[in-house]
Protein backbone atom coordinates (compact mmCIF):
# COMPACT_ATOMS: atom_id res chain seq x y z
CA UNK A 1 0.00 0.00 0.00
CA UNK A 2 1.32 3.42 -0.89
CA UNK A 3 1.71 6.22 1.61
CA UNK A 4 -0.91 8.17 -0.33
CA UNK A 5 -3.52 5.44 -0.12
CA UNK A 6 -2.71 4.92 3.58
CA UNK A 7 -3.22 8.65 4.15
CA UNK A 8 -6.51 8.54 2.25
CA UNK A 9 -7.76 5.58 4.29
CA UNK A 10 -6.76 7.28 7.53
CA UNK A 11 -8.53 10.49 6.52
CA UNK A 12 -11.70 8.63 5.55
CA UNK A 13 -11.63 6.67 8.84
CA UNK A 14 -11.29 9.95 10.75
CA UNK A 15 -14.33 11.39 8.96
CA UNK A 16 -16.39 8.25 9.61
CA UNK A 17 -15.55 8.19 13.32
CA UNK A 18 -16.25 11.92 13.73
CA UNK A 19 -19.62 11.54 12.01
CA UNK A 20 -20.68 8.45 13.96
CA UNK A 21 -19.60 9.81 17.33
CA UNK A 22 -20.85 13.35 16.60
CA UNK A 23 -17.54 14.93 17.56
CA UNK A 24 -15.42 17.60 15.84
CA UNK A 25 -13.05 16.19 13.23
CA UNK A 26 -10.12 17.96 14.91
CA UNK A 27 -10.53 15.64 17.93
CA UNK A 28 -10.17 12.51 15.78
CA UNK A 29 -6.40 12.49 15.28
CA UNK A 30 -4.44 9.36 14.31
CA UNK A 31 -3.06 8.99 17.84
CA UNK A 32 -6.39 9.71 19.53
CA UNK A 33 -7.64 6.93 21.77
CA UNK A 34 -11.17 5.95 20.84
CA UNK A 35 -12.04 5.72 24.53
CA UNK A 36 -10.94 9.32 25.08
CA UNK A 37 -12.78 10.86 22.13
CA UNK A 38 -16.14 10.20 23.73
CA UNK A 39 -17.85 7.74 26.04
CA UNK A 40 -17.48 4.66 23.89
CA UNK A 41 -19.81 1.71 24.33
CA UNK A 42 -20.66 -1.43 22.37
CA UNK A 43 -23.39 0.37 20.44
CA UNK A 44 -20.94 3.07 19.32
CA UNK A 45 -18.50 0.38 18.19
CA UNK A 46 -21.26 -1.38 16.25
CA UNK A 47 -22.20 1.93 14.59
CA UNK A 48 -18.56 2.56 13.67
CA UNK A 49 -18.29 -0.95 12.21
CA UNK A 50 -21.46 -0.45 10.15
CA UNK A 51 -20.27 2.93 8.88
CA UNK A 52 -16.85 1.52 7.94
CA UNK A 53 -18.58 -1.38 6.20
CA UNK A 54 -20.59 1.08 4.14
CA UNK A 55 -17.71 3.49 3.44
CA UNK A 56 -15.10 0.88 2.50
CA UNK A 57 -17.21 -2.14 1.52
CA UNK A 58 -15.49 -4.32 4.11
CA UNK A 59 -16.45 -6.61 6.96
CA UNK A 60 -14.97 -5.62 10.31
CA UNK A 61 -15.16 -8.51 12.80
CA UNK A 62 -16.43 -7.21 16.14
CA UNK A 63 -13.65 -9.04 18.01
CA UNK A 64 -11.07 -7.16 15.96
CA UNK A 65 -12.84 -3.87 16.53
CA UNK A 66 -12.88 -4.24 20.31
CA UNK A 67 -9.08 -4.63 20.26
CA UNK A 68 -8.58 -1.29 18.49
CA UNK A 69 -7.33 1.52 20.68
CA UNK A 70 -6.41 4.42 18.39
CA UNK A 71 -7.71 5.90 15.16
CA UNK A 72 -4.49 4.74 13.50
CA UNK A 73 -5.19 1.18 14.72
CA UNK A 74 -8.63 1.47 13.19
CA UNK A 75 -7.17 2.55 9.84
CA UNK A 76 -4.83 -0.45 9.94
CA UNK A 77 -7.80 -2.72 10.60
CA UNK A 78 -9.59 -1.22 7.59
CA UNK A 79 -6.51 -1.83 5.42
CA UNK A 80 -6.40 -5.49 6.40
CA UNK A 81 -10.13 -6.22 6.38
CA UNK A 82 -11.50 -8.43 3.61
CA UNK A 83 -13.38 -6.55 0.91
CA UNK A 84 -16.94 -7.51 0.05
> What domain range is 74 assigned to?
3-80
φ/ψ of 38, rounded to 5, equals: -165, 170
Q: Cα–Cα distances in Å, from 49 out to 34, 52, 77, 79? A: 13, 5, 11, 14
CATH at 58: 1.10.1200.10
Banded model confidence at residue 2, pLDDT cuts 50, 70, 90? low
Number of domains, the chain: 1
Banded model confidence at residue 18, pLDDT cuts 50, 70, 90? very high
Helical H segments across 38-70, by residue range: 42-56, 62-67
Residue 35 has pLDDT above 80, yes or no: yes
**Mean pLDDT calculated for residue range 4-21:** 94
Q: Work out the percent of the chain whose per-residue pLDDT is above 70.
A: 95
Amino acid sequence: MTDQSRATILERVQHVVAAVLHVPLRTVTPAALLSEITALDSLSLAEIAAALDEEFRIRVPSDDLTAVQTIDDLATLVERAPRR
